[in-house]
Amino acid sequence: MLKVKEDILESMLEKAIHNIQTDETKLVSYTKKINEINPLYFFEAAEKLGNRTYWRSSIDDFCIIGVGSTLEIATEQSDMNYTENRWQTVLEEAIIHNPYNVPGTGVIALGGMAFDPKKEKTELWSNYKASQFTIPEFTLAKIEGNYYLTTITRVNRNDHAKQLLTQLNAKEQQLLSPVESFPENVHVISQEEIQPESWKKTVKKATDEINKHETEKIVLAREIRLHLSKEASITAVLRELVETQPNSYVFAFEQEKDCFIGATPERLVKIEGNQLLSTCLAGTAPRGKSLEEDEKFKYTLLHDQKNREEHDFVVQMIKQAMENYCENIVIPKDPDILSLSNLQHLYTPVRATLREGYSIFNVIEKLHPTPALGGTPREKSLAFIRHYEHMDRGWYGAPVGWLDSNANGEFAVAIRSGLIRGDKASLFAGCGIVRDSDPEAEYAETNIKFLPMLSVLGGV
Ligand SMILES: C=C(O[C@@H]1C=C(C(=O)O)C=C[C@H]1O)C(=O)O
C-alpha cells in the first residue's frame, strides 16, 4: 500500500494515471476534514448519486455514509476467503492519502452477507449477493465531532486528471449543499403476517426436536409484509430510527431500488488495533410500563432459568470461538441487562486481544451465526432452520458493517430489520427456542421485536 504525501488530489490522480502501464486500474483515495454537516442531509443529497449506505454505531459518536460504488467485492460463495483476498489486493494497489489515523477514515468497505448462503435465494433478495462489500465513491465519516470526507476514484491510463477532478468536485458540491426540504415519512396501509399458525407449529416441532436431544437451541424467525402509503424515503426512515433507537446500531444498505435497513442492538465484533469486542445478546423481556414494573421484568429476566440457559449457549460459543484467534479473553461471570425502547435483553460483553496474523474476516467466519441467531449445535440447528423455516432470511440475522484499510472494523448482527422495496416492505423477527419454549409466548416475543421497524414505518 503506497501512502503518498501530496495533499492535492489532482496531482495524485495525475501521478496514478501516468504510472499505469497496462490495462489495469488503480484506486486513488483522498481524505480531508470538512465542516460540520448533518449526516442525514448528506444522505438525502446523495439520493441520485448511486447506492447509499448508512451506519451509526450504538455507543460511540460514529456515523459513516457511503455514496456510490467505486469498487464492489461481491460473491455468491459462502466462505470469506474470496472477499478477504480481494480486499487485500485492492489495498496493496491503492494510493492512499489519509493524514488522520482515525478508525473509519481512508479506504473503507461497507457491506454484509446472507444469513445462510446454502438456503435457496428467493426473488425477495435478488438484489443482494451472498457477500457484498462496496468501496464507495464518497464516504462521510462523523467521528467524535469531526467530519471526514473521503473520495475514492478508480483510474486507468486513458483518464485525464483534470476531467476526473471536475466531475468529482461537482458531485462533492451536490453532496455538501443544503437539501431544500426533508422528505416526509410513510405509514402502513396494510399488513400481512406470513403463516403465523404454521410458524407456531414449527416452534413446537423445534421443541420436540430439542426434547429428543437432537439439538439444544434453534432460532426461528418469521416475516410480516407491509404495504406502505407511498414509496418510502430511506432518509425519513433513518431519521426516525436514529431518534427512537439510541442504544442500537442503525444501518441501511441500498441495492438498486431496494434497501435493507434496521436498528440492531447486537454487536458481533468490533476491532480497533488489536483490541476486540464482541457481545452475547440473548434472552428477552418486555419493558415495564412503570419504573417499578420495568425493574420487576429486569429482575425476573436476570434470574429466569430458561433465558439464562438461552443466553449461556451464546456465551459459551463466543468464548470458544475467541480462543482460536485471541488471548486475554475477559468475560463477566453473569450477564447484565441491555434496555432498549421496546424490550430488554440479557447482555454479556466479551473483550479480547486479537493475535497477530488474524483479521476481522477470520473472526466473523468463526462467529457467524452465533446461537443468538442460529442455534446449538450450529450445523444441526441450521439444517432445521433451512428445512422448516418458511422464509428467505436473506441478510437478516447476518453480519453487516464496515472495515478500513488499517484493519479496523465493526460488524453488527442485522436483526430488528426489514427490506424496503418502494412502497412494500418485509420485516423480520425471530427468537431462540429451547426445551420448554411456548409457541404463543415466542410468537408474542417476535411481535415486540417487529416494533422498532414497524413503528418507524408508521405501522403502530
Ligand atoms: C432473533 C432476534 O433476536 C435475537 C434473539 C433473542 C432472544 O431470543 O431472546 C434476543 C436477541 C437476539 O439475539 C430478532 O430480533 O429477530
Contact assessment for residue 334 and residue 392, using Cβ atoms and an 8 Å cutoff: no
- Does residue 5 carry a pLDDT above 50? no
- Is the CB of 412 within 6 Å of ligand 1? no
Query: For 289-337, what is each residue's pLDDT tens digit?
Result: 999 999 999 999 999 999 999 999 999 999 999 999 999 999 999 999 9
For residue 26, the SS3 value is strand
Q: Which of 129, 142, 171, 217 is catalytic?
A: 217
Q: What is the ipTM of this complex?
A: 0.99
Measured between alpha carbons, how far is 387 from 375 in angstroms, rounded to an integer? 14
Residue 61 identity (one-letter amino acid): D
Atom 12 of ligand 1, nearest CA residue = 282
- Percent of the chain exceeding pLDDT 90 equals 93
- Is the CB of 318 within 6 Å of ligand 1? no
At 1 the pLDDT is 53
- Is the CB of 429 within 6 Å of ligand 1? yes
Measured between alpha carbons, how far is 244 from 452 in angstroms, rounded to an integer? 8
For residue 375, the SS3 value is strand
> Whose grid coordinates read 446472507?
114
Q: What is the mean pLDDT of the chain?
A: 95
- Does residue 142 carry a pLDDT above 50? yes
Number of C-alpha atoms within 13 angstroms, CB side, residue 399?
A: 29
Name all domains of the chain by residue range, CATH numbers in brackets: 2-176 (no CATH), 188-456 (3.60.120.10)
Is 310 annotated among the ligand-binding residues? yes
In this prediction, residues 218-242 reach a mean pLDDT of 98
- Is the CB of 373 within 6 Å of ligand 1? yes
In the residue annotation, 6 being an active-site residue is answered as no
Atom 2 of ligand 1, nearest CA residue = 430
Cell of 25: 486500474
In this prediction, residues 180-197 reach a mean pLDDT of 94
Contact assessment for residue 280 and residue 350, using Cβ atoms and an 8 Å cutoff: yes
- Cα 400 to Cα 68, 133, 171: the distances in Å are 18, 10, 27
- Does residue 4 carry a pLDDT above 80? no
Contact assessment for residue 445 and residue 282, using Cβ atoms and an 8 Å cutoff: no
- Is the CB of 345 within 6 Å of ligand 1? yes
Q: Which of 266, 389, 410, 442 is catalytic?
A: 266
Query: For 385-408, what is each residue's pLDDT tens digit?
Result: 999 999 999 999 999 999 999 999
- Predicted TM-score (pTM) of the model is 0.96
Q: How far apart are the first and last CA of the chain?
A: 51
- Does residue 89 carry a pLDDT above 80? yes
Site to substitute for ligand 1 among 219, 268, 315, 395, most atoms within 8 A of C-beta: 219
Q: Which of 456, 39, 460 is nearest to 263 (CA)?
A: 456
